[in-house]
Structure 1
């Protein structure tokens, strides 16, 4: 499929490899070896640029091993033509931003600033955004002034938009410290900088539910003359209210019925961000009518938001789960559906089944703190409105819903975990079934009327062959058979036994505990948990460690292994 993609579609498709392999730090270069830039420069600039972005996504926040390689890809001034250079720099900048996220590294910031000052629209947009990623949450005044000044100087909207997002990220979780900058940007005549102010409010006051910030966003959502600013203000409500998700539907209910489709779109995303993974009835009730909205991009936003709300929700938990999945399938298959809405349904299908249905989206970490990585991922994902490759940032927002027990040696002991709830309550949804097309039967040959007359005439004259009459069949005597005993189907148990490691979704955590008296957890059973061995003198059985690739290879080898020959007697005389 990647071979058929062209231009920026090839860039996005190659970057999506980073989404698939995120966190596989050791094998990142091997996975991307076919696409990474080569000394000969013979490769496609789109696949090479996309591979640099993919490398950054794989090493997000753990990028020391690839930083030097990515920096080496930035100059590329004399060796390649202008378009080739811009695409490579675009990918390298995005990769650097991911790899060095929130490090505050001044030297990386300067490297990105040099690309920004080249005044290339494509490369500059990525550089401005990545400057914000590197300085994420730092509130660095010198960086902010450099970025604002250049945003006023440049004539490229793409560069201004990249800087606007970067500025919002720099003020992450700074609350009142950001107020003066928010005032300054919200009064700017450039709508892109006012757009930056809206996201800055959402980032600076994320999860606080601050009333003043809330009122400010609502004011801009209904009064600004620019649709992008209104959409950004409405979307940012989701960041503010994620700690009280039940409050969000009440706040955005009127906005979801606004005459302005951009406000309706923002309301949908706000619901998706704040109510992600909750399956909340109120959020579903607001999103359901929006799936049938007259505007195509509102339908797109509603489908994406619905997937976020319904991620990891079973039919037992949320009765609408099956309906939602069928809606996605229907929109994707409908040939008359608008491309924008169909794109949203395809993304929604991927979100609801994220990580093989083993991952969720949550702006709060397991310990209750705001997840910086998730907030960044959601903010940048929402910018696919302007630039489709930004959709790949959503991978930063996914969190695996696993339970892994480790002993003092950081190895996994074989242990049983009991879940005091029915298995069906938190089960995987059924796999999607592909309808089999029935083969068309051959139509019987038509018989002419003249042929029928000839056959009738032959029968009268006795020339026709008489068909033998079938012998009468005797009906078998009815015998009273003893009533078959009804097969007793096993009743579902009220609990489920899980083996270490196991899939434990967020709503299931309250029901799980370690079975037996040997191991004791040192904290709540969620994510990676250290356990204390109460009987260290007894031998301990460990879980065998294999990567999925190794396991698949082993199964394939066993499958392809030749069968042993049948027993036979060897005649030694034949040897000579």
Structure 2
């Protein structure tokens, strides 16, 4: 990480030498991934090293060679790199190398994500489960946050795969693709969320598949549904921390805590308006589309407590006969009253009104949003600011994130959004710490000489 993207020859030589000298697999794997990070974004300059790693006898270093291709050519869509990866995906004798080669396709093609389902379609039907798993991750990485229906169609059959880790990859990839998607944007969302709940609740589900469902549940709701996975910045450049985070996230195959690296790829989806002093004023802007189009997915309802039904008590035959006789006697007395008080029959109009369904409320065609509001990347094209408002963006094209605002009424007092809020817990902690400081400290002990000679 320190030498990320430097292509330092000294660092590469030392790492390669150490990888050949040591016999510890974990050290070799760490060095292999480290080499790929050193060559981040170097494209053709990394070809010689890629050739060397791809021809190595050690499969772990060949595995590192596949990630070196992914890091060196990430986001370029290079045909040369794609051809090399596809060749290794079907020819290498080691399953780990083949899986890494297919996964690397997602890094190279994340700018042209619509091509990935077509490229990995045959690989997703491979006899080798490691290749199928790699196809899942390639789809998830390249199509993250897009809601691509073509990718979902390929992943849905793999959620029922016979191999547990293939199902794990499908669960994770579906979550990456469906981040911040609701049922209006993508009708598959509800089914996927229900599937996660069912898999997690199953007691006899395989541990690897259940782990994938748990990860998927966390990814699809990451950041309170206020973040997405974005490997390119708002200006279109490669997002280095996000790419590195996803690359290290894929190493959870060997070490589960590596899954936390995915947080590096999370990008907040909000419009944060700031004035000349970088303070956040209260503003309003309009989203010119129906509120339901980009609304939050409803929160999951907590399970209701099961009410234990009372068991019917046993009744003796003599008691039952006595009760029946009493009911018959009472029934004869109330028959006359029942005949006099017949309920009025409902008119046909009342019946029609009861049958008629409630009319749906007419949804507005726009929505007013305030500063710090969630605005999805697909929603940005519908955002507009009132030209006569006090605050307007300095740049015409709003790309989300931090937006610098121009104040058209600089002489008037501003209403700012407070940046810090004191919670009850924080206040209590501060008060306790002050009390500790105010208390008198115990005096230091007087100097003395320890009698070492005494036995």
Q: Please classify the TM superposition score into its range, dividing by the shorter chain length.
A: 0.7 to 0.9
Alpha-carbon distance, 1:423 to partner: 0.7
Aligned partner of residue 264 in structure 1, secondary structure: helix
Matched-pair contact (CA < 8 Å) for 2:75–2:108: yes
Q: Does residue 388 of structure 1 match 2:256? A: yes
Q: Does residue 313 of structure 1 match 2:186? A: no
Aligned partner of residue 491 in structure 1, secondary structure: coil
Q: Deviations along 1:516-559, whole A, 9 cap, x unmatched?
A: 52222123320011111122123322122234x638879xxxxx
Q: Does residue 188 of structure 1 match 2:56? A: yes
Alpha-carbon distance, 1:410 to partner: 0.4
Q: Which runs of 5 or more structure 1 residues have no equivalent in the other structure?
A: 1-132, 555-576
Alpha-carbon distance, 1:388 to partner: 0.7
Matched-pair contact (CA < 8 Å) for 2:129–2:166: yes
Q: 2:22 aligns with which of 132, 136, 154?
A: 154
Q: 1:228 to 1:537 in 2, by over 3 A?
A: same
CA distance in 1, matches of 2:298, 2:73: 39
Runs of 4+ in 1 over 6 A off after TM superposition: 478-484, 486-489, 551-554
Partner of 1:500: 371
Matched-pair contact (CA < 8 Å) for 1:415–1:515: no
RMSD value over aligned CA atoms? 2.6
Partner of 1:434: 302
Q: Does residue 424 of structure 1 match 2:292? A: yes
CA distance in 2, matches of 1:250, 1:479: 62
Alpha-carbon distance, 1:501 to partner: 1.4
Partner of 2:394: 522
Partner of 2:406: 532
Partner of 1:108: none
Aligned partner of residue 283 in structure 1, secondary structure: helix
CA distance in 2, matches of 1:452, 1:361: 70
Q: 1:322 aligns with which of 175, 190, 207?
A: 190
Q: 1:362 aligns with which of 230, 233, 246?
A: 230
Matched-pair contact (CA < 8 Å) for 2:287–2:369: yes
Q: Deviations along 1:215-261, whole A, 9 cap, x unmatched?
A: 00001010000000000000000000000000111111110011100
Alpha-carbon distance, 1:476 to partner: 5.1
Partner of 2:102: 234
Alpha-carbon distance, 1:443 to partner: 1.7
Q: Does residue 407 of structure 1 match 2:299? A: no
CA distance in 1, matches of 2:417, 2:303: 39
Alpha-carbon distance, 1:480 to partner: 7.6
Q: What count of residue pairs does the alignment treat as equivalent?
A: 416
Matched-pair contact (CA < 8 Å) for 2:129–2:163: yes
Q: Deviations along 1:49-85, whole A, 9 cap, x unmatched?
A: xxxxxxxxxxxxxxxxxxxxxxxxxxxxxxxxxxxxx
CA distance in 1, matches of 2:7, 2:120: 30
Aligned partner of residue 367 in structure 1, secondary structure: coil
Partner of 1:550: 423
Matched-pair contact (CA < 8 Å) for 1:277–1:309: yes
Matched-pair contact (CA < 8 Å) for 1:151–1:159: yes
Matched-pair contact (CA < 8 Å) for 2:175–2:220: yes
Q: 1:475 aligns with which of 342, 345, 352?
A: 342
CA distance in 2, matches of 1:200, 1:310: 28
Q: Does residue 203 of structure 1 match 2:74? A: no
Partner of 1:445: 313
Aligned partner of residue 113 in structure 2, secondary structure: coil
CA distance in 2, matches of 1:516, 1:296: 56
Q: Deviations along 1:296-316, whole A, 9 cap, x unmatched?
A: 000000100000000011111
CA distance in 2, matches of 1:488, 1:334: 40
CA distance in 2, matches of 1:465, 1:182: 95
Q: Deviations along 1:131-176, whole A, 9 cap, x unmatched?
A: xx11111111111111111111111001001111100100000111
Q: 1:481 to 1:281 in 2, by over 3 A?
A: closer
TM-score scaled by length of structure 2? 0.86
Partner of 2:431: none
Aligned partner of residue 267 in structure 2, secondary structure: strand
TM-score scaled by length of structure 1? 0.68
Q: 1:522 to 1:439 in 2, by over 3 A?
A: same
Q: 1:447 to 1:499 in 2, by over 3 A?
A: same
Matched-pair contact (CA < 8 Å) for 2:386–2:392: no
Matched-pair contact (CA < 8 Å) for 1:415–1:514: no
Aligned partner of residue 413 in structure 1, secondary structure: coil
Partner of 1:512: 383
Q: Does residue 163 of structure 1 match 2:36? A: no
Q: Deviations along 1:399-442, whole A, 9 cap, x unmatched?
A: 11011000000001111010011110100001112332431221
Aligned partner of residue 246 in structure 1, secondary structure: helix
Matched-pair contact (CA < 8 Å) for 1:408–1:532: yes
CA distance in 1, matches of 2:168, 2:346: 64
Q: 1:408 to 1:299 in 2, by over 3 A?
A: same
Q: 2:202 aligns with which of 313, 328, 334?
A: 334
